[in-house]
Amino acid sequence: MTTNDMPRWATGIVLPLLNLLSAMLVAALAIHLLGEDPVDAMRILVNSAIVNPEGLSYTLFYASTFVFTGLAVSLAMQAGLFNIGAEGQMYFGGLGLTLAMLAFDSSLPWYLLIPVGMLGAALFGALWAFIPGYLQAKRGSHIVVTTIMFNFIAASLMNFVIVKYLIPPGEQNTASRVFSDAAALPPLNAWFPALGDTPLNVSFFLSILALVIYGVFVSRSAWGYKLRATGLNKHAAHYAGVKISAMIIVTMLISGALAGLGAVNSIMGSTHYLSLNFVGGAGFVGIAIALMGRQHPVGIFLSSVLFGALIQGGFDLSLEKPNIPTETFIFIQGLIILFCGAMENLYAPVLIKLIKGKKG
């Protein structure tokens, strides 16, 4: 028996949980070495990020962005592509959204303005992913190398465009002007006051909708079958009639569009202007989410909530435990990538033996 022959509950639930537990145990050891009690630290984190309604609201706010970047990386993985460029694609998505807002926020009503902004985010994100996709499909350039390079190019271009063209006269902050009220996504605390004064908005429901659409198209459509066939074996997919070059380009376009849509929550739902560092590493978090969630919609959602909780809980944890720096979240993120990515099958041999013994 190999990992491919293992039951879905073993590969989809047990292995990820064991990997997550291993990452958390190593993180607990690090916290202990910092001179703090890991159990008390976990209590603070859970209370801050899950139990407290306002903290939960912030957790879901961060998760709303992570769902889109996680979907972007996951979709590319389904085709056998490792899109590490979600960070840059989200940068460009934010730029496209902002240009649409600056052009139309004084002339369009909210019910047209919001879709136009989302369309701008998706189009610019797709545009930034198209070039690495084209180079991979037509020239054989490795997608990992090109997408990493494009992350740095996107950040530099963003800095240039904001400083050169978007900063209002007399302003010192590296940001665009504030959009009109019509460009703001409705906050959920208007309907659920218990959530408190937090930026959680309707993009949370948009992220759920994106998960559903992703799940249906990948697992229930002819295009999704071709996508997965390409990821499993490009040569076999080619002989079955799949146009590999076209599949790679289209997949990267959709992946980039999803990453670009990650900017909607941050900009239209929270700040209402474009700032230089609005992405905040969300594109790289998407890699961890895709690996941990095994490219499954439920796994992506749960992983997004977990990382949202780590960020929200990490803020309060660093306040109550000064010995634990806020960078601990980045350390835990790296551990999750290590155990869920590079060492994802660490416990597979043990599980295979247990399953064989049960059947025998």
CATH code, 262: 1.10.3470
Domain range for 234 is 51-359
What is the model's pLDDT at position 332? 82
Q: State pLDDT tens for residues 136-148.
A: 999 999 999 999 9
- Position 229 scores a pLDDT of 95
Strand extents, DSSP E, the chain = none
- Measured in whole angstroms, the distance separating CA 54 from the mean position of its chain's CA atoms is 22
Is 30 inside a domain boundary?
A: no
Overall average pLDDT of the 265-274 stretch: 96
Q: Is position 12 within any domain? A: no
Find out whether 193 and 120 touch, Cβ atoms under 8 Å. Answer: no
- Dist CA 247 CA 263 (whole Å): 25
End-to-end CA distance of the chain: give it in Å, rounded. 13
Lowest mean pLDDT among 107-111, 137-141, 168-172, 344-348: 344-348
Reported as a single tens digit per residue, the pLDDT across 64-114 is 999 999 999 999 999 999 999 999 999 999 999 999 999 999 999 999 999
Predicted local distance difference test score (pLDDT) of residue 286 = 95
Amino acid at 324: I
- Tell me the mean pLDDT in the region 271-288: 93
Tokens representing 241 are: 């009639």
Find the largest Cα–Cα distance for the chain.
Answer: 76
Cβ contact 201:188 at 8 Å: yes
249 assigned to some structural domain = yes
pTM for the model: 0.93
The answer to whether position 36 is within a domain reads: no
| pLDDT value for 350 | 82
Distance CA 124, CA 319 (A): 38
Residue 114 within any structural domain of the chain: yes
Nearest-angstrom CA–CA distance, 269 and 312: 17
In a domain, 271, yes or no: yes
Please tell me what DSSP assigns to residue 197. S
Asked if residue 269 is part of any domain, the answer here is yes
For the cut 80, the answer to whether the pLDDT of residue 335 exceeds it is yes
How many domains would you assign to the chain?
1
Span 23-34, average pLDDT: 90
Domain contains 44: no
**Among residues 280, 220, 231, which one has the least CA distance to residue 255?**
231
Task: Give residue for tokens 């609005």.
Answer: 278
